[in-house]
Structure 1
Amino acid sequence: MTDQLWAVLAVVLVVLAGGTAALTAGVRRRRPPALPDEQPAAPVATADAPVDTLPPDVDDTDVVVEEPSAVEAERPAPVAGRMVRLRERLSRSGAIGRSLLSILSRESLTEEDWEEIEETLLLADVGIGPTTELMDRLRTRVQVLGTKDAASVREILREELLQLVDPAMDRSLRTTKGVGDDGEQHPATILVVGVNGTGKTTTVGKLARVLVAEDLEVVLGAADTFRAAAADQLQTWGERVGVTTVRSDREGADPAAVAFDAVQAGRTAGADVVLVDTAGRLQNKADLMGELGKIKRVISRQAPVSEVLLVLDATTGQNGLRQAQVFAEVVDVTGIVLTKLDGTAKGGIVVAVQRELGVPVKLVGLGEGADDLAPFVAEDFVEALLS
């Protein structure tokens, strides 16, 4: 009888222990949900949460690191001679200068002539403010000097246009490596943004060639994950010059995660510069614009963003200026890349966008060739307008 009691007690104890364990496990699973307005805290860079940990609002995306093929890479054209070589193409937009010179060289300038000058400047997208300033200065200098000599008039116009374009602006690309709080070097990171159809991905590929021509090690980040063709296109540009491309393994992946991994790959490889391409977006779409801010914030966990380059189509005129204003509010644009500048009389957008944003035009696209992207030089630009 005693043995039976002990057996019963043992069974009871086992059941109670199992129930307690189940109850405890159930409690662990039923943690209270976060409140709707409660945001998870960002991981802190400690030994348990290193800097390469993705923030909680970024999807963990598998990426593919596409190393360049074993085929010998192309050597891009030297950067130094590009503006000279492409002067002829740029001069096609010299309709502004030629029109102004022809008017200013007339025997006597009437009020109708001055109105024609003003109209020429406005049609060239110089903008109302800069046009008014240039008109006032031209009137004063022409009247004071009282000269109609073509060479003298050209020199006056060159000086005034150059002042508008502002040669004092810093147009250099920030491609110098930095040192993080951990004492380790990190690559310069350049984020490239813009609306659809401006030639943004092509510009990133051409910019990679500019940097490779300067003997810099480059990694490309294909953060335009909404178009598989964009990643393919960027990878092709990279392979041509022996540059690694980091891309997602699927369409529609989180672009911030791809950008994060691209910078991480650049750090691991000891690259000098990481170029991050982003999806083209309309400036009036708040959610897409907000995503740019997220990409920049996530990149900054690996390394500070050195440059935010906004790609603008030179032929869009004042609409391009409105685009620039919105992008500047979201991601703090540091430089402008003007594409399709060849063959257009809209070169005045250079003046307008710089004046509005206080941001320099740093690069210009002057054709469809692989090396038809050149650093913007104010003096060369004005000379081409007047050539």
Structure 2
Amino acid sequence: MLINFFKIIFFISFLIFQSSVYPKNNNNEFNSKNLSNYFSAIVSYDNQKNVDSLKFFKSSKSLINRHDPFLKKYIFSLIIEGEMNRAIHELKHFSGKKNSDFFEAYLILVLDSIKKKDFKKSSKYLDKLSKFKDNSTMELIIYESLKNYSYLFKNKKILSNINVFGNLSLISSAFQNCYLGKKQTQSYFEDLIHGDTDYTRYKFFYINYLIEQNKFDKINEIVEQIDTLNSSLLISLTKTWVDKKNFKKFSEVFSCNNETDILSEYFFLIANLYSSEYEFEKSNFYLNISYFLNPKFKYNLSLLAENYFINNNYTQCEKVLNYFDKNDDIFYWYKIKRKARIISGELGEEQSFNYVNSKFKRIRKPSTKILFDMANIAKSFKKYQISIDYYDEVL
């Protein structure tokens, strides 16, 4: 934190020096108000107060042509705040200029072109992206993966050099084969969900594929093996949809035939990797890209809410949680539990329990998972008789 402070002081001093060397009649952009707003934008951004940061960036936008790093910071702030279309507009406006020459700029333009099915233009931006691939391992992985996906979408063929990044490549192979409708798709998903690494998440996408193939016996076999009480949110939702025979729900939120749906899941995986390394800024950046590519699959936003919650940014956390409603089953329950935790810290445990208990009672026919969670919650609040009653319902 102290290092960041000195960086900011040095940076502002540099800007002030720059402003002093320009003739005064050309120096309207470098006035004290703009510098103050820019300084506030950077401080707010570093403190994960992105709403304030974006407001200050917009107030000091006249500096965008005078200080090259401004655009990159502004773009990050726009995307983290979910203003993806605005970020794309700004990057196109400054295309070809020095301040737009960075990895994330070309990445966003590649994805925008793919979303518009302009694969010729996406190839052009990929060429520009390639010069940054050696900056870090992750940037190399993202570049190579995008190159493979772009080739797939344009030529309906899989590049032969795809299997170079271990499990990441195995996941990509499953989705690429699914996109082309190849028979080996099933074996790739089987390898994923039965491998040494916990990739049970991909049961959702495997079942999605099996529904398209009308392989309902296999679907039932997979779902019977799901441990309801110890599964992730997405897998719990998967089981609920299958048990209720709501098979259309799967295709409403994801399709292997949709380029941006596949890329959305890929960038969720990247965001998840960054989150596991506590690099929350980058995680949130890629989560918003993922949501932009497939807003139907809002369930991935639970990781964004979790990132904000871990960092005590409860305002942003609640903003994301509001994407989930009663129709989202276990994700709605997740929303209630997270809000209860926030209330506990702000208003005390009694109000927190009253909130979660009242919301629980309004859930019509709660699942075994939700009942079990409520029993554990009551126990944690030392409401032992209530807890016992809920445990009895589970049994």
TM above 0.5, yes or no, is no
Structure with more of its chain in strand, by fraction: 1
| TM-score, length basis structure 1 | 0.30
**Higher relative contact order (Cα pairs below 8 Å, separated by 6+ residues):** 1
Structure with more of its chain in helix, by fraction: 2
Structure having the higher Rg? 1
| TM-score, length basis structure 2 | 0.29
